[in-house]
A and B are shown apart, each in its own frame.
Chain A
Amino acid sequence: MKRSGTEGFELTARPWLRRLLVSRWPQWSLMAVALAFFAYVVLAGFFGTPVGNRNIAITLVWIAWWAALVLVLVPVGGRLWCSICPIPAPGEWLQRGGLMASDGRRTRGLKRRWPRRLRSLWLQNAGFLALALFSAVILTTPRVTAWVLLGLVLLAVAVSLVFERRAFCRYLCPVGGFIGIYALAAPLALRVRDPDVCRTHPTKDCYRGNAQGFGCPWMTYPGTLDRNADCGLCLECLRTCPLDNVTVVLQPLGADLGPRRGRPPLSIDEAYKGFILLAAALVYGAVMMGPWSALKDAAFQVGSGPWFLYAAGLLLLALLLLPGLYLLAAWIGDRLARRPAGGLRRGFLLAATGLIPLGLGGWIAFSLGFLFANGSYVLSTLSDPLGWGWDLLGTAGLAWRPALTGLVPALQGAALVAGLAWATRLTSRAFAETTESRRAALRRAAPVLLLQAALGAALMGVML
């Protein structure tokens, strides 16, 4: 059973690496570079060509950054992107009263506490779905991408001025929701070495902040932190902890996806995030990689009749159909196992465990296809970012050419196969650890495993 505290390989045991992470410079520099790119992208979106694949706003964000995020940063580093993300940077600097302030005892703004009723992923889920309905337009129209990015920054600034810490990141950011839920599958993690040291430490500097740094911006108490979703890897607690109890580790695969003190790994709002993202992977795969042009038109023509149908279909799949199928499978399992402990509610949440590896596999397969097919647009727009006929690096004339078309299906297949196999394993383990007997666990899990295999097959059908 999982408990807080470290298990796995401690990266911060190396003094040089620890110094590098404790210092504010490296992280701040990366964030500043990201912010510069961000401004560049927004300007390009407003002033460059409206042709998507000729404008760097589209290619840099939706091909290069998205691929880096889904293929590398999230599966390996979890919330690593959050630690250098430019979106909350201006708001955070305002809160802290300086570009590189370090004294966590002084902060600005109204510092309201985030309302208790909103401390869940439901707002984030709604925000993600709202963007998802317009994704075909956002993905192809530079100006719309620019507005969305600018809107996120403005919202983040406004929230930072009214509420304390990074309420925007934790409860609102639609990208943050995507990253957070799949970060549960990542090996990189920040944890405390010994939870007992934290329990007996009276001042809890990591949560309150001190002269060395700020109290946890993600409103997490590191002393009991045991999962990646709640930690933005901002490294403040590494800086503030006077007892040197905080550490960065590479944990065993799936460590965050086991039952937590007998409770299912996901809460209900997180399970819904999993449904929404799995639905989005299936629908995007069909719209963007499938041959069905009517579907493409429907997704693109926002406001038209077909678009309303498309939007309704996506919402139905994400909010009713997928959860309904899982509920049905959990219900059958409940009956087969003769009403095991925790009942249907627990069975449903346990069943949702597999959504994380399954969905991540789907997103990796989707992003692989997109990256290798359209990566050459990134190279040509680097030379001609605004589509104005420049040729800065001599790559503007580069012809569009998909790369490695023979190999990509094999890579996509590998991601989907691994995702499904891992989902099977984690789901059965979660059932086994929270159900009285082996036999009951197997009966309880069987219908869910069957459903998972069917959804895995659906992803394979769409992506391959």
Chain B
Amino acid sequence: MSLPRAASLTLLALALAALVAPWPFTSPAVGERVVRLTARQFAFDPPQVEVAQGERVVLELTSADVVHGLYLDGYDIELKVDPGQRARASFIADQVGTFRMRCSVTCGPLHPFMIGELKVRPAGGGARILLGASLATLAGLVGLRDDDEALRD
């Protein structure tokens, strides 16, 4: 493998890691966070929730209209709630990142898009994306030298 290609592939891997790999700088928080969510067609309220890594999160779900569910990506947690009732689940937010909360009970036309977000800090959100995009651009530029060499040969 040529040097530019190897460098380009390395940069690609780093870009991906910057975007999705577990963030190494953690300061595990302790404590409990009660997150109260109201589901209604077709949203969770509040739509975005942020907690700190290591916190014990208690999800409390109520519904304002019809039967809804909540499935939390990454943590594989599911709740179902009838209108006027309350459902609870608790877990330790040990994985860092942004996880979608999706309604898991068909509740109407926009049901597949009924999505909320749970962000577990320190996700470094903006910094990650900046770093990922820069590294990917760099990978493309470094790879270019490969074309030059191929042309010269």
Contacts and interface: CB of A to CB of B under 8 A. Distances in A.
A185 to B, nearest CB: 14
- Interface of chain A: mostly helix, strand, loop or mixed: helix
Interface in A367-411: 373-374, 377, 400-402, 405-406, 409-410
Contact of A292 (B47, B71, B134): B47
B144 A428 contact: yes
B50 to A, nearest CB: 12
A277 B134 CA distance: 23
A405 B100 CA distance: 9
A457 interface: yes
Given A291-B48, A417-B16, A456 B115 contact: no
A335 interface: no
A225 B7 CA distance: 35
Interface in A415-432: 416-418, 420-425, 428-429, 432
Contacts of B141: 424-425, 428, 449
Contact of B136 (A374, A424, A428): A424
Interface in A437-464: 449, 452-454, 456-457, 460-461, 464
Interface residues of B, number: 47
B137 A141 contact: no
A19 to B, nearest CB: 35
Contacts of A422: 140
A51 interface: yes
A254 to B, nearest CB: 10
A414 interface: yes
Interface in A86-124: none
A400 B104 contact: yes
Interface string B90-131: 000000011110101010111111111100000000000110
Nearest to B95: A406
Contact of B19 (A52, A53, A300, A417): A417
A52 B115 contact: no
Contacts of B108: 51
B74 A406 contact: yes
B73 A402 contact: yes
Nearest to B134: A453
B120 to A, nearest CB: 13
Contacts, number: 142
Contacts of B115: 288-291
Contacts of A52: 109, 111-112
A288 to B, nearest CB: 5
B135 to A, nearest CB: 8
A288 B113 contact: yes
Nearest to A387: B106
A460 B129 contact: yes
Contacts of B117: 290-291
A414 B19 CA distance: 9
A257 to B, nearest CB: 13
B12 A417 contact: yes
B6 interface: no
Given A140-B112, A300-B109, A410-B16, A293 B43 contact: yes
Nearest to A399: B104
A287 B106 contact: no
Contacts of B12: 417-418, 421
A456 B137 contact: yes
Contacts of A424: 136-137, 139-141
Contacts of B76: 405
A306 interface: no
A449 B20 contact: no
Interface string A276-315: 0000000000011111110011001000000000000000
A317 to B, nearest CB: 19
Interface of B: 8, 11-12, 15-16, 19-20, 42-44, 47-48, 71, 73-74, 76, 97-100, 102, 104, 106, 108-117, 129-130, 132-137, 139-141, 143-144, 147
12 contacts: A54-B106, A291-B117, A292-B47, A300-B109, A373-B112, A416-B19, A417-B15, A417-B136, A420-B136, A425-B147, A452-B137, A464-B19
Closest 8 pairs between A and B when the two form their complex, measured CB to CB: A424-B140, A293-B43, A291-B47, A457-B133, A405-B73, A425-B140, A421-B140, A420-B136
